[in-house]
Amino acid sequence: MPSGYSLYIDRPSFLHQKIDPRTKTFMLVATFVLSLLFNGPIPLAVMFGLLLAASRWGMVPWPLVRVLLMTGIWFIALSVLIWPWYVREGSDLFRLFGVWITSDGVLFGIAMGLRVTIMVMVATLWMFTTSPQKITASFLKMGLPYKAGMAVGSSIRLVPLIAGEWATIVEAQRSRGVDYSQGGLLSRAKKSVQILGPMLLRSIDIAQALAIAMEARAFGSRSGRTSITEVRLVSLDKWVMGFGLVVIGFGVFCRIHGIGVLLRNYL
């Protein structure tokens, strides 16, 4: 995963250059809503496939896509291990530690893993195809106070920066002979303290440096703020947002009628 001040890397893709940041933010929220409306594995798997296609369309580097895929597999495996212990509907498959594991429990676990993966993927795709400057400018256009917009933009910038700092600390500890791949769970937890301590101090240092830089530039001295970055909605953006509203309405219809819903009593 790239490290630096932002996940955004400029690409000549349609998603990078032609879609307004407000439209992409709307589609981000729409995807979150749709993933919550369905709890069956089939519609969520379709959404996952569409996001993979959108990632390639948006020229997301294959190493990042591979990381997202591996993360998705981990989420699905974890959900399959957890949810069958709580979901008892469906036909019995086998008995484990005195508890019957059911078909619906396994399918629901797959669906919940896909749901989390979809949310992570769409958020990553949004950050990769939208520059932090345009995100901040779009929030200002939507009426958000510029201090709040700056806070959101700074948070997005800090995600890859903190990840890069974490990797640097891990490599520094490995150079001193600390092997995080050896030992049991308790041993690894003890070793992680050697990362968490420096990471906490480094995070405080980064936050303090950011605060000093903002104060040096008189941030917050005026009630308004100008921006060199301009964003503008065009007819294409309106069509895309209209299509998103139609899809959300269709998702609500499906939820009410039980289409794509494995268990009605669960979100």
What the block records as the tokens of 1 is 């995963």
> Do both 236 and 195 map to the same domain?
no
pLDDT value for 111:
92
CB atoms within 10 A of CB 145: 13
Domain range enclosing 185: 135-228
Could you tell me if 193 and 203 are in contact, meaning their C-beta atoms sit under 8 angstroms apart?
no
> Do both 26 and 108 map to the same domain?
yes
pLDDT in tens, 167-223: 788 888 778 777 766 666 676 667 677 778 888 888 888 888 888 888 887 777 776
d(CA 184, CA 235): 57
> Do both 224 and 140 map to the same domain?
yes
d(CA 207, CA 205): 6
Q: Rounded to whole angstroms, what are the CA distances from 233 to 21, 134, 237?
A: 9, 13, 6
What the block records as the tokens of 141 is 């256009």
> Do both 176 and 262 map to the same domain?
no
> How many CA atoms within 13 Å lie on the side-chain side of 179?
4
Q: How many domains does the chain have?
A: 2
> Do both 6 and 94 map to the same domain?
yes
More confident call, 119 vs 127: 119
> Do both 63 and 87 map to the same domain?
yes
Query: What average pLDDT does the segment 93-99 reach?
Result: 78
> Do both 21 and 107 map to the same domain?
yes
> Do both 68 and 196 map to the same domain?
no
Using pLDDT thresholds of 50, 70 and 90, give the confidence band for residue 118.
very high
pLDDT value for 150:
73
pLDDT in tens, 29-45: 999 999 999 988 999 99
Using pLDDT thresholds of 50, 70 and 90, give the confidence band for residue 2.
very low
> Do both 38 and 151 map to the same domain?
no
